Chain A
Amino acid sequence: MLWLSFALGYLALTALCLAMNRHHKALLGGEPSPTRRRGLRLGAAVAMLLALVLCIAAQGGEIGAVIWLCQLMVSGWLLVGLLAWRQRWALSMAALLPLGSGLFALLG
Chain B
Amino acid sequence: MSLRQSMSGLHTWGGLLPSWLLFVIFFAGSLACFDKELERWMRPALHQPGVASLTADQVRDWLHERAPNAHAWWMRPPSEREPFWWAGWEPEEGAEFQRFALDASSGEVLTDTVGGMFFFTLHYELHAGMLGMYIVAIAAMAMLIALVSGVIIHRRIFKDFFTLRPAANGQRAWLDAHNLFGVLGLPFHLLIAYTGLVIFVVFYMPAGLKVAYQDDFGALFRESTGYFERGEVGRPAGPPASLDTLLTDARQRWGGGEPGWISVHYPYDEAAVVDLRNWVSSRVTDFQWTLSYDASSGELLHEQKPYGAGYQTQSWLTGLHMAQFGGTPVRLLYLLLGLAGCAMLVGGLRVWLAKREARGGYGIGLVRALNGAVIGGLPLASLALLWGNRLLPAGLAERSRAEAMVFVGAWLLVALWAVRRQGSGRLGRDLYVVGAVLALGLPVLNALTSSQGHLGATLARGDWALAGIDLSLLGVGLLCALLGWRHRQPGEVHQAGRRESRRLAEEGV
| Cβ contact within 8 Å between B325 and A63 | yes
Given A70-B333, A71-B333: A80 and B326 interface contact (C-beta under 8 Å):
no
Which of A16, A59, A71, A84 lies in contact with B164, CB distance below 8 A? A84
Binary interface encoding of chain A residues 4-45 relative to chain B, with 1 for a CB under 8 A from any of its CBs, else 0: 000000000100110010110000000000000000000000
Which of B161, B164, B282, B337 lies in contact with A74, CB distance below 8 A? B337
Q: Which residues of the other chain, A, contact B187 by a CB distance below 8 angstroms?
A: 69, 73
Binary interface encoding of chain A residues 35-76 relative to chain B, with 1 for a CB under 8 A from any of its CBs, else 0: 000000000000000000000000110110011011101101
| Cβ contact within 8 Å between B333 and A74 | yes
Q: Which residues of the other chain, B, contact A59 by a CB distance below 8 angstroms?
A: 326, 329
- Sorting the interface of chain A by its residue count into under 10, 10 to 19, 20 to 34 or 35 or more gives 20 to 34
Measured in the bound complex, the distance between the Cα atoms of B282 and A59 in whole Å is 9
Q: Which residues of the other chain, A, contact B336 by a CB distance below 8 angstroms?
A: 74, 77
| Cβ contact within 8 Å between B164 and A83 | yes
Which of B159, B162, B188, B284 lies in contact with A70, CB distance below 8 A? B188
Measured in the bound complex, the distance between the Cα atoms of B281 and A60 in whole Å is 13
Is B320 part of the contact surface with A, judged by Cβ < 8 Å?
yes
Q: B160-199: which have CB < 8 Å to A?
A: 161-166, 180-181, 184-185, 187-188
Interface of A is mostly: helix
Is A94 part of the contact surface with B, judged by Cβ < 8 Å?
no
Which of B163, B165, B166, B320 lies in contact with A66, CB distance below 8 A? B320
| Cβ contact within 8 Å between A66 and B188 | no
| Cβ contact within 8 Å between A70 and B164 | no
Measured in the bound complex, the distance between the Cα atoms of B119 and A101 in whole Å is 34
Q: Which residues of the other chain, A, contact B374 by a CB distance below 8 angstroms?
A: none
B350 vs chain A, min Cβ distance (A): 16
User: Interface residues of B, CB < 8 Å — how many?
Assistant: 26
Q: Which residues of the other chain, A, contact B282 by a CB distance below 8 angstroms?
A: 60, 63
Given A20-B162, A74-B336, A84-B165: A66 and B184 interface contact (C-beta under 8 Å):
no
| Cβ contact within 8 Å between A80 and B164 | yes
Q: B301-344: which have CB < 8 Å to A?
A: 320, 325-326, 329-330, 333-334, 336-337, 340
Is B283 part of the contact surface with A, judged by Cβ < 8 Å?
yes
Residue of A nearest to B160 (CB): A22
Is A100 part of the contact surface with B, judged by Cβ < 8 Å?
no
Q: Which residues of the other chain, B, contact A63 by a CB distance below 8 angstroms?
A: 282-284, 325-326, 330
| Cβ contact within 8 Å between A70 and B330 | yes
Query: Which of B162, B163, B282 has the most chain A CB atoms closer than 10 A to its own CB?
Result: B162
Q: List 9 A-B contacts (CB under 8 A).
A: A16-B162, A23-B162, A66-B325, A66-B330, A67-B326, A73-B337, A77-B180, A80-B164, A85-B166
In the A-B complex, the 10 residue pairs with the closest CB atoms = A70-B333, A84-B164, A76-B184, A63-B326, A17-B162, A80-B164, A74-B336, A84-B166, A2-B329, A80-B162
A20-B161, A77-B340 known; 19 new pairs, CB 8 Å cut-off, are A16-B161, A17-B162, A59-B329, A62-B283, A62-B284, A67-B329, A69-B187, A70-B333, A73-B188, A73-B340, A74-B333, A74-B337, A76-B162, A77-B180, A77-B336, A81-B164, A83-B164, A84-B164, A84-B165
Q: Footprint of A on B, CB under 8 Å?
A: 159, 161-166, 180-181, 184-185, 187-188, 282-284, 320, 325-326, 329-330, 333-334, 336-337, 340
